[in-house]
Chains A and B, each alone.
Chain A
Amino acid sequence: MDASGRSSSSRRLWCAAAALAIAGAAGCVDERDPITGTTSFRVVLVSPDDPGTEDDRLADEARDITVQLTALDAQGEPDPSFSGSVQLYVHYLGGLTPELGTEPLDRIDVEAGVSDEIELQLPGVFGPTYLWVEDGRGSSPTFATGVSPTIWYRDPFLADVSRPDDEASLDALERSPLEFKQIRVSRSRYGADGRMVVTGIYSQGYTLSDVSCAEGGAPPCTTGDYDSVFVFSFNRPLGEGTGPIEIGDVIEVLTGGMSEFNGLTEVNFPESFVAEGQRDADRVPEPTVIQPEWLGTRIEMERAEASVVAIEGATVCELDGDYDMYSQWKLDIGSGCGDAVNVITQGQVNDFSPADYVGQVLPRVVGTLRPVNIGSFDVWIIYPRTAEDVSLP
């Protein structure tokens, strides 16, 4: 059905419904005053002239914009009766910054229904972005709202998702810059030779790394700081319409909500779109070998979070209550069992019993790295993926 056909058909439906409603409601008439006052704001983007498109995004540094507001009444006409200060927020990645109801990003004065042309600088934003203005404060807010045309910035890379705003800040290990945002990661930060490669599969999720490969994305590949993330799928991870995700799969698009779960940066409620026919486990990068001093500063561990790491020549500690409760056993990597790296093999490497190796040196243990930070319980855990990840003496 074409648009006009759909329209006339729908009008007939609506008229029939309305007639029935009127007939059925005989005797009940609710007379109301007309709606008056400011209903919305028109937000005109004065600059940039070109806000970009989905296929042609603005540069990261193009953050200076100019806007002008006009208050509109219930008939859609300019409303000169409105004067006041309205609040400005920015909407990107599925939510407002700052959160609605908190101190806004800025305020814009509107006099007799119109503002001046206001210059603003946006914070770091990603994807399709809108300015949101509202009259939601004061003694008698109208809750009139307006939204700018779309301003197109690039989608975030995995590193944008994982890297803290300031590595030196106290909460660098517990917060991520896009927490509570709905991300869409659609390409590698390494360009045409980069890929987003699945490096580990677990019962409730998988690890994904942005890797730089040889020409055309061929292996071998390497990865950098903050290039990895854990995707929490709750169930065995599945690609959208492509079945179980496996190590070596290339993810073309990943969407999901960002959260920090006990220090682990997670993509929740994900949708993973797998590139068909591109599975190649050789693209999984060589593990990063953890150094004993990293446990002291910890930021190096954070940089490697969710990536494939290795521990070499470490001693299996006595099993303790953490093993009974959480199946976590410990490796002394040179700083004693009191400052050990934890390992969980249960569920992935079931035939390995750490009790058989207490006090012995394991040549190499490989797996993906996750933190668990609950107050004083602050540990790093390696999750081997298969029996091959645990080299026995």
Chain B
Amino acid sequence: MASCLSRRGRAVALAFVGAGALAASCTVTRDAPNLVGQDVRLTVIHTADIHSRLFPYTFIPNRTDRDFGLLAENGPFGGAARISTIIKRERHNAGRSLWLDSGDSFQGAPIFNMFKGEAEMRALSMMGLDAAVVGNHEFDLGTKNLFYQADNWARFQLLAANYLFEDPPSPGDRSLRDVVKPYVIFDVDGLKVGVIGMGNWSSMTGIFEGGNSLGVRPLEDGEVVEEYVRLLRPVVDVVVLASHLGLDEDEGLASGEIEQDQNESLPLAGVDVVLGGHLHIVLNPPKTIRNDDLGHESVLIHSGAFAKYVGRLDLVVHVGEDNGDPTRRSKVTAYSFKTIPVDSTIPDDPEVTELLWPYSVALNREIDLNGVLAYVDTAGDEKVVRNDPTGGDSQLGNLVARAMQLRTGIEAEIGITNSLGIRADFEKGPLTVEQMFNVFPFENSITVIYLSGSEIQETLDFVSRKSAERGCRAQAQVSGITFDMVCSGDCPGGASACARNVYLGDDCRNGDPNGPIDPEACAPLEPIGLYKVAVNDYIARGGSGFDVLKRNTSKQFTTISLRDALVDYMRQQPACGEDIIDISDPGRATVRERWGAVACLNNTVEPHDGRIRPVFE
């Protein structure tokens, strides 16, 4: 880290204090303003879950996106050079300002697969980011990679108060704990702002286990917040949580305690603002959470994901006489929040474009990003969706599971993959290599595992329980098997969710997703049977809570890429007819003319067929 954190705006990092360590910072000499009793404006620029979308990309905005101003005619969307333009413009149109990021700038586009986060760190630094919390995907290539990228390239403060870092293997070695701090204090023209980072751990496999490979142990969120608020509140005017916990956990810092004791002070007491991430949502209007019996509130915002939006939160802070006294401390009295779409109407910042140019050249040299793998020829405006409207199996999920199951050398009876491993839909039109990376960013591979019928039942019960917690939306996708995903019912052991009517085979409902299972077409699962199952290596290791798979010892890690298996499977589909027009071509050329005899994905290829049927009993 540079010895002096220079800022494009007027924010100055006053001091970093945490874990007994102190990072270098500047001594600032200036006649201090007397802000006591005044309403002081602070503009917080907020980003989250950029997920490596440093270059603009194409997708069709859904209804929610459109409501927030992301219009199809203004695509492609995202891109660091555009974000930089917005940041500069908004900070120019503000007095006191900070830019804070809620984590997961890594993973989600091929630039991360090739450069491991270097481009993200360099771009965010050049753009003037002040601080960012560490998201779970920052760990995707391991702790050492994160340390290396941050140590070499980050010119902003990385934060995580709820991680306990283990000692490095050799005394004196630098490690992640040297570049990640629990909090940072900024002096923004006399207004002191404390920012506490809250990392996510629920999505990180193995973080709870002693001696885990990450070298990180999670600390209890509520206690961590209380501890650092107690430390910071007396010395700052505004306390901000930069959070990658997720909305429920952000809110849980308040509501969980309400349930226990209405009179007990809440972990969010003393927190003015929560900047959320992880769930990829936009929370606008912001939520306000009353956090003590003096009428103080926490303002909670989320600003979306995938570089689609930049959030701008304007706060009016009434500066109090004594920040150590809850009745006389500074507090946020009013606020305004908006999300700014990142689209083609925003010009590129040439500095950032220049920075990213060599990465773009190298990427295109190594990977034919614009190469067309298949053509998505769905009806009307439809896509090949990862989430079916019913909440059950989805066409894209079915495709992935089937590709795993039938891959040459695998040839399993059943395919199972987690829904969250599929990150986007297949848009109508040419399906490019770059889109494949956007949809399947993770470098997962196929694992073959032999499960008894009882273990499969247990796995599907788990899937049903987990899905029930998420609006009865299937958290796994399958092939070769069909079941009723009971999200509310009288299940064995007093549970309210479970899998019922589990049958092996394909098209068990004879083409009607709502129809009954045809016992002539499919056979019931045998508890004592042994089945060959293709899963991805993430859930095979117990990721997302698949404990049944984790404890099974029959695993064969094939290293066959999930993405490659899907590409191969799609290429086996019939080619597009000669008369099909490529909707992406203004000249209305046919798919054949533009891309040759590429495979056609229409609504009939592995359609939603009710192999996972949500049921409320």
Residues of chain A touching chain B, judged by Cβ–Cβ distance below 8 Å, are 3, 6-11, 13-14, 17-18, 20-22, 24-25, 27-35, 39-43, 54, 72, 74-76, 89, 91, 93-96, 99-101, 130, 132, 134, 136, 141-147, 180-182, 203-204, 233-236, 240-241, 255, 257-259, 261-262, 269, 271, 325-327, 346-348, 350, 353, 374
Contacts and interface: CB of A to CB of B under 8 A. Distances in A.
22 contacts: A7-B322, A20-B15, A24-B23, A25-B3, A30-B27, A30-B29, A39-B40, A40-B40, A41-B39, A72-B38, A76-B36, A95-B286, A96-B336, A134-B41, A143-B93, A203-B391, A203-B487, A234-B470, A241-B255, A269-B247, A346-B390, A347-B391
Nearest to A323: B514
Given A32-B29, A39-B38, A234-B471, A74 B235 contact: no
Interface in B277-291: 283-288
A35 B324 contact: no
Given A21-B25, A203-B487, A240-B258, A32 B287 contact: no
Interface string B259-292: 1000000000000000000000001111110000
A31 B30 contact: yes
Interface stretch (B326-334, B345-353, B552-560): B326-334
Given A10-B235, A146-B39, A147-B39, A100 B314 contact: yes
Contacts of B67: 259
A35 B327 contact: no
B421 interface: no
A7 B39 contact: no
Given A13-B234, A21-B25, A39-B33, A353 B324 contact: no
Interface string B118-150: 000000000000000000000000000000000
Contacts of A145: 39-41, 316
B181 interface: no
B604 interface: no
Given A95-B336, A100-B338, A234-B471, A22 B288 contact: no
A141 B33 CA distance: 19
A93 B39 CA distance: 20
A10 B29 contact: no
Nearest to B515: A353
B22 A20 contact: yes
A18 B15 contact: yes
Nearest to A100: B336
A33 B31 CA distance: 8
B286 A94 contact: yes
Contact of B338 (A99, A257, A261): A99
Given A91-B336, A241-B258, A269-B247, A25 B26 contact: yes
Contacts of B26: 25, 28-30
User: What does DSSP make chain A's interface, helix, strand, loop or mixed?
Assistant: mixed
Given A32-B29, A136-B93, 18 more contacts: A3-B325, A17-B17, A18-B14, A20-B15, A21-B15, A24-B22, A27-B3, A28-B4, A29-B28, A33-B30, A35-B189, A40-B35, A74-B190, A145-B39, A181-B285, A203-B614, A257-B285, A350-B616
B231 A203 contact: no
Interface string B24-58: 11111111011111111101000000000000000
Contact of A180 (B284, B335, B390): B284
A32 B11 CA distance: 12
Given A9-B234, A327-B514, A346-B390, A182 B287 contact: yes
Contacts of B616: 203, 347-348, 350
Interface string B605-617: 0000000001110
B78 to A, nearest CB: 23
B287 A74 contact: no
A286 to B, nearest CB: 24
A178 to B, nearest CB: 10
Nearest to A134: B41
Nearest to B337: A95
Contact of B235 (A14, A27, A235): A14
A147 B234 contact: no
B12 interface: yes
A350 B285 CA distance: 36
Interface residues of B, number: 80
B288 A94 contact: yes
A43 B33 CA distance: 20
Contacts of B488: 236
A372 B163 CA distance: 45
Interface of B: 3-4, 12, 14-15, 17, 22-31, 33-41, 43, 63-64, 67, 93-96, 189-190, 231, 233-235, 247, 251, 255, 258-259, 283-288, 295, 314, 316, 318, 322-327, 333-338, 389-391, 468-472, 487-488, 514, 614-616
A236 B465 CA distance: 12
A107 B268 CA distance: 37
A182 B96 CA distance: 26
A105 to B, nearest CB: 13
Contacts of A96: 334, 336
Contacts of A14: 234-235
Given A24-B24, A99-B338, A34 B30 contact: yes
Contacts of A8: 324
A21 B22 contact: yes
A69 to B, nearest CB: 11
Given A3-B327, A145-B39, A326-B389, A32 B318 contact: no
B202 to A, nearest CB: 16
Contact of A29 (B29, B43, B64, B338): B29
Contact of A132 (B251, B316, B615): B316
A53 B41 CA distance: 25
Contact of B94 (A89, A143, A258): A143
Closest 8 CB pairs of A and B: A10-B234, A7-B324, A241-B259, A143-B95, A21-B15, A74-B33, A34-B31, A145-B41
Contacts of A347: 390-391, 472, 614-616
B27 A203 contact: no
Contacts of A6: 234, 324-325
Contacts of A257: 283-285, 287
B487 A236 contact: yes
